[in-house]
Amino acid sequence: MSSAASDVFPPPKDFAAHAAIGSRAAYDELRQVALADPEAFWAARARAGLHWFKPFGKVLDWKPPFAQWFLGGETNASFNCLDRHLTGWRRNKAAIVWEGENFEQRTLTYLELHRRVGQLANALLALGYRAGDRAIIYLPMIPEAAVAMLACARIGVTHSVVFAGFSSEALRTRIEDLGAQLVLTADYGRRRGREVPLKKNVDEALEHCPGVRHAVVYRHTNGPIAMRAGRDLEWAELVASAQPGCPAAHLPSEHPLFVLYTSGTTGKPKGVVHSTAGYLTQVLATMEWVFDLRDEDVYWCTADIGWVTGHSYIIYGPLAAGATTLMYEGAPDWPRPDRFWELIAKYRVNVFYTSPTAIRSFIRQGEAYPAGHDLSSLRLLGSVGEPINPSAWRWYHRVIGHERCPIVDTWWQTETGAILLSPVPGAVAAKPGSATLPLPGIVAEIVDAKGEPVPDGQQGYLVLRKPWPSMLRGLYGDPERYQENYWSRYPGSYFTGDAAHRDADGYYWVLGRVDDVINISGHRLSTMEVESALVRHPQVAEAAAVGRPDELKGQSLVVFCTLKGDAAATPELSEELRAWVAREIAAFARPEEVRMVEALPKTRSGKIMRRLLRELVTTREVKGDTTTLEDYAVLLKLSVEGKDEEEILGKN
């Protein structure tokens, strides 16, 4: 599959001239070195990139599917993100530049951030928390979220950030699965002028979580909240009496830095476990390769800290690199559609990293909004979370980048920890819609159902052949599911769950998920999770959820339900079910459409044939017209004669 010359965007000459990796030849050499001896390559990155309290010995212990990196070494993520910047001029550099939704501004230098992290860490130590304990962080996009993560990391408390848009129910299941003893939260968050009752959600969740000893509450909006004596503690009071200096714990390389829950193919979210040294080594390497970061840059990743992008590319990556990271609390279109462009102009942002869904919504709003602001500070643009359609890529390139800025389309996953496929902007020509090449040390391949590599141009499954330092170390408390989910399909190789093809230039084109995971605006959602939420509703008998292509969000959610005996299929019930899912999971999971049907298509063994429903919602409008109903009847009939879903899926 070759591309027309017009589809290729070579690195702009002046960009390449100043880039850390400024030519394809230099880059190919780096990849070659990594390929020739991956362990030596990563060991050198780890030694040069991190501060070690104790040097590591063995580089990699690989007992598939369990990897351990940099054995015997001791380090600390919080120390690497803070203390080592304090010895030189960076101590007074802005670490976090924050803007609130209400235009409030705060800047924390490395020294100031270090002080606040130390205070909170000391307060947590005084409460008895130690390495090995687990904390849930349920905070809005405010600097305290970074302080909380780094304070936990400092003393070895494994953190799990729960996106502040998640419901109390979703919060509860994560607290329970993790067996967390501590929750760090705020009174309220701000979203489009509304106040989101975070503490109230925590209160509801904690009704069912007796294992949580403390909830530390930061007063953000100062709205009314209930505080339970003995359990709930005021953040401000705790840190006021704490010393700022807190020595960073010397932690083994493999110490679990964080667990992040993400949707899998069952109703239960998976707790993806990340390590300390391997994670940080690779995240830091990608800051250099992909974002070509310079000390004077203002770097802005628009993700939320509740997702892995926020962990790796708002907090750990930029701070380990000593960068200035911009953090914005609110929505892109609040109070006006030009909020992002205003922020770029105001803070002179140089590197801007956002999602295709955001870009598509900017396209809808029109070019007048970005045109009204000075975007000349921008040097590099990034995209993440879903495939970017070539027309959105071109718009981004022309309207935001003024045809001057390279675009890095970065492919990775919660599980991979760091970016694995992406152009290196000064070295690799971009093609709109392609994440281009695997980064150094990454061995990717596209295989068929049997695991055989497919010829270039042919679609197959994206797999990774070799372990990499920032890979997940497992699923929290569930080694079998880890093995089964990622390593059973192609023994020895990591199965990404994505379909892709590779073109004649060796470029990868990632097409999307092949499992029952859908991607709504870059947020991963399991159809099974939605179905389990729906069948908890007293009037729903069975449910099937599928993704439908959506021009704005990439995919949107359509659900089919059968009702219990006496329930009537009314528009009110349909609305109620939509709201129910939003409340049980999160607002982004609210179904676009609820179809109440007589029966669901099933295989002989009784499994719901989601694939047929997927086809139905993809190829036809499902608005209740007769064509659809006939199609649906045909589907039901088909399913009676039906093959097993696996059988059909296998031919995908």
CB of residue 301 to ligand WT7, shortest distance in Å: 11
CB of residue 426 to ligand WT7, shortest distance in Å: 19
Candidate residues 277, 510, 617, 635; the one interacting with ligand WT7 per rule CB under 6 A: 510
Nearer to ligand WT7, 75 or 496 (CB): 496
Tokens of 279: 């994670």
CB of residue 553 to ligand WT7, shortest distance in Å: 13
Query: How far apart are alpha carbons 357 and 307 in whole angstroms?
Result: 15
Candidate residues 158, 253, 309, 527; the one interacting with ligand WT7 per rule CB under 6 A: 309
Per CB under 6 A, does 508 bind ligand WT7?
no
Query: How far apart are alpha carbons 543 and 596 in whole angstroms?
Result: 9
- Which DSSP category does 90 fall into? G
Candidate residues 70, 138, 393, 411; the one interacting with ligand WT7 per rule CB under 6 A: 411
Per CB under 6 A, does 386 bind ligand WT7?
yes
Per CB under 6 A, does 385 bind ligand WT7?
yes
Candidate residues 502, 524, 595, 610; the one interacting with ligand WT7 per rule CB under 6 A: 524
| Residue/partner pairs of 575-579 with CB below 8 Å, 24 or more apart | 576/537, 577/534, 577/537, 577/540
Q: Taking contact as CB under 6 A, which single stretch among the options 104-112, 174-182, 307-315, 532-540 is the one that binds ligand WT7?
A: 307-315
Candidate residues 279, 328, 412, 476; the one interacting with ligand WT7 per rule CB under 6 A: 412
CB of residue 555 to ligand WT7, shortest distance in Å: 10
Per CB under 6 A, does 512 bind ligand WT7?
yes
Cα 100–103–105 angle (5° rounding)? Answer: 65
Give the residue from 278, 312, 274, 277 showing the smallest Cα distance to 474. Answer: 274
Candidate residues 68, 262, 302, 556; the one interacting with ligand WT7 per rule CB under 6 A: 262
Per CB under 6 A, does 527 bind ligand WT7?
no
Per CB under 6 A, does 384 bind ligand WT7?
yes
Residues 543, 561: contact at Cβ < 8 Å?
A: yes
Query: How far apart are alpha carbons 84 and 90 in whole angstroms?
Result: 9
**Ramachandran bin of 458, using left for φ above 0, alpha for ψ from -120 to 50, beta for the remaining angles:** beta
H or E stretch at 30 = helix 24-36
CB of residue 320 to ligand WT7, shortest distance in Å: 18
Annotate each residue in 222-261 with x if it binds ligand WT7 (CB under 6 A) or - if it does not, as one string. ----------------------------------------
Query: How far apart are alpha carbons 156 and 251 in whole angstroms?
Result: 7
Nearer to ligand WT7, 1 or 579 (CB): 1
Per CB under 6 A, does 436 bind ligand WT7?
no
Q: Taking contact as CB under 6 A, which single stretch among the options 1-9, 15-23, 217-225, 495-503 is the one that binds ligand WT7?
A: 495-503
Candidate residues 414, 539, 555, 639; the one interacting with ligand WT7 per rule CB under 6 A: 414
Residue 296, SS3 per DSSP: coil
Per CB under 6 A, does 201 bind ligand WT7?
no
Residues 468, 507: contact at Cβ < 8 Å?
A: no
Nearer to ligand WT7, 252 or 387 (CB): 387
Q: Taking contact as CB under 6 A, which single stretch among the options 108-116, 301-309, 318-326, 440-448 is the one that binds ligand WT7?
A: 301-309
Q: Taking contact as CB under 6 A, which single stretch among the options 75-83, 111-119, 493-501, 542-550 is the one that binds ligand WT7?
A: 493-501
Annotate each residue in 437-476 with x if it binds ligand WT7 (CB under 6 A) or - if it does not, as one string. ----------------------------------------
**Touching ligand WT7, residues 320-359 (CB under 6 A):** none
Size (the chain), residues? 652
- Which DSSP category does 596 fall into? E
Residues 150, 273: contact at Cβ < 8 Å?
A: no
Candidate residues 264, 497, 547, 591; the one interacting with ligand WT7 per rule CB under 6 A: 497
Q: Is 259 exposed, middle or buried (0-12, 13-18, 19+ CB in 10 A)?
A: buried
Query: How far apart are alpha carbons 291 and 322 in whole angstroms?
Result: 13
Give the residue from 506, 489, 523, 358 showing the smallest Cα distance to 421. Answer: 506
What string of DSSP letters covers 426-473? TTS-B-TT--BSBPTT--EEEE-TTSPBPPTTS-EEEEE-S--TTS--
| Beta strands at 105-109 and 94-99: parallel, antiparallel or unpaired | antiparallel
Nearer to ligand WT7, 83 or 498 (CB): 498
CB of residue 474 to ligand WT7, shortest distance in Å: 16
CB of residue 441 to ligand WT7, shortest distance in Å: 18
Per CB under 6 A, does 585 bind ligand WT7?
no
Tokens of 126: 């005084």
CB of residue 8 to ligand WT7, shortest distance in Å: 18
CB of residue 397 to ligand WT7, shortest distance in Å: 15
Give the residue from 418, 435, 423, 452 showing the smallest Cα distance to 510. Answer: 435
CB of residue 580 to ligand WT7, shortest distance in Å: 23
Residues 436-465: b if buried by 16+ CB within 10 A, e if exposed: bbbbbbbebbbbeeebeebeeeeebbbbbe
Sites of contact with ligand WT7 (CB under 6 A): 262, 307-309, 384-387, 409-414, 435, 496-498, 510, 512-513, 519, 522, 524
